A and B are shown apart, each in its own frame.
Chain A
Amino acid sequence: MALFDKFNKLASERAELFPTGLSPFETRIEEVYSPTEARIGGRRVLLAGTNNYLGLTFAPECIEAAHKAIEREGTGTTGSRMANGSYGGHYALEAELGDFYRCNSVIVFSTGYLASLGLIGTLAGVQDIILLDADCHASIYDACRLSGAQIIRFRHNDVADLEKRLQRLKEHTDNTLIVVEGIYSMLGDRAPLAEIVAVKRHYGGYLVVDEAHSLGVLGEHGRGLSEEAGVATEVDFVLGTFSKSLGAVGGFLASNHPESEFLRYASRPYIFTASPSPSVIASTRAALQLLRDRPQLRERLWANATQLYRQLQALGYQLGPEPSPVVATLLGSRQQAVAFWQGLLEHGIYVNLVLPPAAPGGYTLVRCSVSAAHTPAQIDTICQAFADLQAILEQPDAPKPQGG
């Protein structure tokens, strides 16, 4: 088999699914007007697939902070923190996140993906065991592979299955890492964290919670699911990202294990890549302050999320298991999902198309993410487009919407 032959299957699937129309995987956003509007394919569209949960990408405070940082420190750091030094902003952001999470140790990484690799891929080694939820993000799977540890997958959100696997490990739980997410990115459901913590308390192990989609979204102060479930002190490692509710790019690890500081010296994804640019750090710091100062953003987000979930439910669509800022609509065949996604875009609504294996359980789905910056009228507009497109699902070989 020649080197490129492995792409033959991808090429034929692509040709079959997107013979002429717009491919969702090559979306060109030509102009961005606001956190909720942009131009795509020459058309002004409503953005409902951005992960911009708090709508802070255009916050004047964040833009001003980024401007000032560029003027003061330039456009990039041009090197890694280990080899080329950290800027004041890197340490300041780590201190502010430490204060926010009440953690002694915070390490900032250049992306959320690298934070996963940096923690899991470094901390777990060939003698160790990782138990991960089946629906964990690809970055976690990649991190597990990088670690060389024994990787054991448990059924999604199934605490009894996790418990069985811990029982089988017997005394080996001392070097076991359990990995779950605050909100799962595809179906929008949260981990049963209090129960998971109880099982961990009983059998042992270390718990990682990836709060990528729950930072700023869950908990009284927006710290995520660990806070909402009241178990923050029993979570060993929190992973997070700046690229969703904080409107920038980057990732972090927060922990109260003092030894986790050694990850700076051992983690290749920390050492061998350039550090985040000054403007990225500055806007992230400003966004974190806004997240802390404005709980009303979270309230607005949840009002919008609940409105969208309830209205789509009333239309009869099959949705993810619970209301959340990630609202997944489960569809039938790949062709119908593509037609539905294209139909939404023609109606001026941009969402994400997710096909298996990226979508769990063999589903095809369109995934909306809601923002605090959406107005109730915009949520109505999204729902109207879904209502107009129901005919697509009435064609053969797709499940009919329930109750619709």
Chain B
Amino acid sequence: MAEYRQILDRLYTHLRPMAPQGMTLEEDTDLISEFGLDSVNVMDLLLEVEEDFDISVPLNLLADIRTPKDLACAITRLLEAG
């Protein structure tokens, strides 16, 4: 799980600049309904994250990604799959 924590921390560095005023980001923050991203923001976030981790994240996975935790888990799985 150490790797999961590191991935989550790296995700936060991408997410924090997008945070609305006064919003604290948690593992379970809903990126759309709470954090205020729209579907295109999420896809654009993905472009940054993909570059950082040197992976391609298929858009098909987005249906199951609602929180930083979901995204970190998806990245962990993709990195493990190589």
Binding site for B on A (CB under 8 A): 134, 144, 150-153, 155, 161, 164-165, 168-169, 356-357, 360, 362
Contacts and interface: CB of A to CB of B under 8 A. Distances in A.
B59 A151 contact: yes
Contacts of B43: 134, 153
Given A134-B47, A168-B55, A151 B60 contact: yes
B34 to A, nearest CB: 14
B1 interface: no
B6 interface: no
A196 B71 CA distance: 30
A140 B41 CA distance: 18
Q: Is the interface of B mostly helix, strand, loop or mixed?
A: helix
A357 B41 CA distance: 8
Given A150-B60, A161-B47, 5 more contacts: A151-B58, A153-B46, A161-B51, A168-B54, A357-B40
Contact of B59 (A152, A164, A168, A360): A152
A150 B58 contact: yes
A153 B59 contact: yes
A147 B38 CA distance: 23
A144 B44 CA distance: 18
A185 to B, nearest CB: 15
Interface in B43-57: 43-44, 46-47, 51, 54-57
A362 B39 CA distance: 11
A152 B58 contact: yes
Contacts of A152: 56-59
A389 to B, nearest CB: 27
B61 to A, nearest CB: 9
A134 B46 CA distance: 11
Contacts of B47: 134, 153, 155, 161
A144 B57 CA distance: 15
